[in-house]
Amino acid sequence: MKVIGVDVAKDFIVAFDGKTFFIYPENKNPRRRIPKRAAVKRVKEISDIAGKDDVVILEQTGTYGIRFAKLFEKAGAKVFIADGKALARFRIGKSTIKNDYVDAQAIREIYFTARRKNVHPFHSQRFQLRTMVRHYIRLNKELTRAVNRFKQQIIHLFPNDNYHNLSRYKLFKNLDEIKNKLKQHPESLVIVALSEIANIKHLTEAVEMTKKEIESVVLNHPDYEILKTFNLGIMQMAALIAYYWDVNLFRSKDSFIGYCLMGVKHEQSGDSVLTNRTDKSRAEIKGIFYMQFQVAHKEISPLKPLTIYMKLKESQYKRRFIKYLDRLLEWIYYGLKYRMTFPEVIDYVIKEKTQQLMKLEEKIKSSEAKEDTFYYKQLLERYRNTSDWLLVCQDISTLLKNRQRAAGVECQDYYKEQILKGESHEMGEKRPTETNINQNAGTWNLYSTGNGRELSQGLYGSFTGRSPFKGEPNINRLWYMGTQTERTKK
């Protein structure tokens, strides 16, 4: 078995098997400096480079790479695709020279050093699905532009009618009526409007046809039954599957999230520099999941507690969306990896976070932690963050088990103020009606009475000053789904 790295150009390739460079087709002559003591061989057929059971790693170059990947597959080789960004960083660390021969060497070496993380098997259906998802998004954008242009035109042609204020659905329903009116209109702009109607109808048919083909691929994918338990639509599932395809290719949830999302990047140096940068790649996943993020804010959504948590943790809307999607992808990874449904995943996370809290509690109570003040404060912060996240998961679990409208989900500022004062108020049938104060832990526990759902402690309450552990620094906190204000008493 040979391992071959292949650098892909527009109409030829340079391959390297560890000893010899191969150029295909043979009539191509790449004007590059050949490495010293290297043999170069020109071949007529792909099968002369790789045969059955050989491993071929190609650079990710879109259409060019897919063409040669299919040719190598036909020859019986196992084909892998190297991630473009990871390969660029890897090559720079190996050599400052860039040409086809150096790239072929780097592509071969990255297979041995970062195989599971940055090198993925080539699946023809995966790339077809990714192309269809991108085509679907592009068609929708073109359709939106065409509808906007058409509305501008009919404003000039029919100023007394209200066609330009119609929704897209109603506008499509009245296209034939508008078309008949346009044929009787004397102005020359009618020709442009009629051509725009034909364009809108063509784009609408193309969108529906593409969506049906995408749906047929998704429904036949083995992960469909699990993904649908996460309340995802067909296009959201398609965007995810088009990128990950097989969850076993990823060694951890971080590699899965990083490949699918490429969202927030944490950069830290020393104790002072800490920045979060947002990568703009994977626009397909971010764009399709943005609507799901908006739907999650509704009261009927079981992910409503997660949106509350993110809103109080992050004020900037786009960063909030990225962090929300990061958490959602983490749950999806657990579901795909361990073949669990969404409710089972939440129960698994609750169990995991409970164990983490027990370990943190033991560390906080130890004598070593109390000797180091900085370490002690860090443990307390981790305990609070983990405890808050556990409360969010507990409420999501309750909402999944009872899809009725949750009590106290809105939790307006007025009621927060009353809770902080320690007063109990009648808030109606669909709000908490009973307040239980746990003085030992310093938390307010709200319970629903009458509608069958019990809220977990602290999610819609507050943390006000007291610590479950003795000897905590004297800090006055408003602890409502994370730290909002923190002030050290003097």
pLDDT digit string, tens, across residues 107-146? 888 888 766 567 888 888 888 898 999 999 999 999 999 9
pLDDT of residue 280: 52
Residue with the bigger pLDDT between 459 and 84: it is: 84
Is residue 472 pLDDT above 80, yes or no? Answer: no
Is residue 423 pLDDT above 60, yes or no? Answer: no
Distance of CA 351 to the CA centre of its chain: 24
* Euclidean distance between CA atoms 442 and 379, whole angstroms: 18
- Joined tokens for residue 445: 């526990």
Instruction: Quote the mean pLDDT of the chain.
Output: 76
Total Cβ atoms within 10 A of residue 273:
8
pLDDT of residue 31: 59
Is residue 357 pLDDT above 70, yes or no? Answer: yes
**Across residues 74-80, what is the average pLDDT?**
90
Enumerate helices (H) and strands (E) in the chain, giving the number of each: 18, 13
**Across residues 385-397, what is the average pLDDT?**
89
* Euclidean distance between CA atoms 118 and 98, whole angstroms: 20
| Least confident span in 27-41, 82-96, 184-198 | 27-41
> How would you classify the pairing of strands 119-121 and 20-24?
unpaired
pLDDT of residue 36: 61
Percentage of residues in the chain with pLDDT exceeding 90?
26
Span 161-210, pLDDT tens digits:
888 888 888 999 999 999 999 988 888 899 999 999 999 999 999 999 99
Residue 21's Cβ-count burial label (10 Å; 0-12, 13-18, 19+) is buried
Span 10-23, pLDDT tens digits:
778 888 888 888 88
Half-sphere exposure in the Cβ direction for 88 (13 Å, CA) = 4
pLDDT of residue 470: 38
pLDDT of residue 192: 93
Total Cβ atoms within 10 A of residue 193:
22
For domain 3-122, the CATH class is alpha beta
| C-alpha dist (Å) from residue 486 to 183, 474, 482 | 69, 11, 11
Contacts from 327-332 at CB under 8 Å and sequence distance 24+? 328/230, 328/289, 328/303, 329/253, 329/256, 329/257, 329/260, 329/261, 330/253, 330/257, 331/230, 332/227, 332/230, 332/240
pLDDT of residue 151: 92
- Judge contact between 66 and 127, C-beta under 8 A: yes
Half-sphere exposure in the Cβ direction for 303 (13 Å, CA) = 20
pLDDT of residue 45: 87
